[in-house]
Amino acid sequence: MAGLRNGLYTVETEMTEGGRGRATGVIVLVDGKIAGGDAHFYYTGSYTADNRKWRGELTTFQHAKSSGVLPLFGGREVTCGFSGTYSDGDAVVSGTALVGKTSVLFETRLKFRAAL
């Protein structure tokens, strides 16, 4: 993937419209594949990247019940499309998730932490 480094990234996601919530976690990007998670969810997906732009699809699955915490997508399995930009050490994406019958817009910031 031209320029988007394979490795471990920390992520911060915030709803921008259609829902409320935020999440932090880790994601590993390797040759077009995505895997990661946090205390309640794990994520899998794929992406393409070229010329400092990237896009992809990510599915979120709940693996543990949250107590006293509002899950980002209400605890549902959700597939999101995203697109954004990247530089040497970080990336940002915006996307849309269909949660039930509601479209939820989100923004995620990724920070490179370690090479694989």
In the chain, the domains with their CATH numbers are: 7-114 (2.40.128.380)
In whole angstroms, how far apart are CA 19 and each of 31, 50, 100? 31, 31, 12
pLDDT at 44 (0 to 100): 98
- Look at residue 1 and tell me whether its pLDDT is greater than 60: no
pLDDT at 87 (0 to 100): 92
pLDDT tens for each residue of 56-73: 999 989 888 777 665 555
Q: What is the mean pLDDT of residues 78-102?
A: 90
pLDDT at 95 (0 to 100): 95
Q: How would residue 16 be classed by pLDDT, with cut points 50, 70 and 90?
A: confident
Q: How far apart are CA 75 and CA 62, in angstroms?
A: 6
- Look at residue 50 and tell me whether its pLDDT is greater than 90: yes
Q: How far apart are CA 96 and CA 109, in angstroms?
A: 15
> Which value, in Å, is the radius of gyration of the alpha carbons in the chain?
13
Q: What is the mean pLDDT of residues 95-104?
A: 84
Question: Do the Cβ atoms of 3 and 86 come closer than 8 Å?
Answer: yes
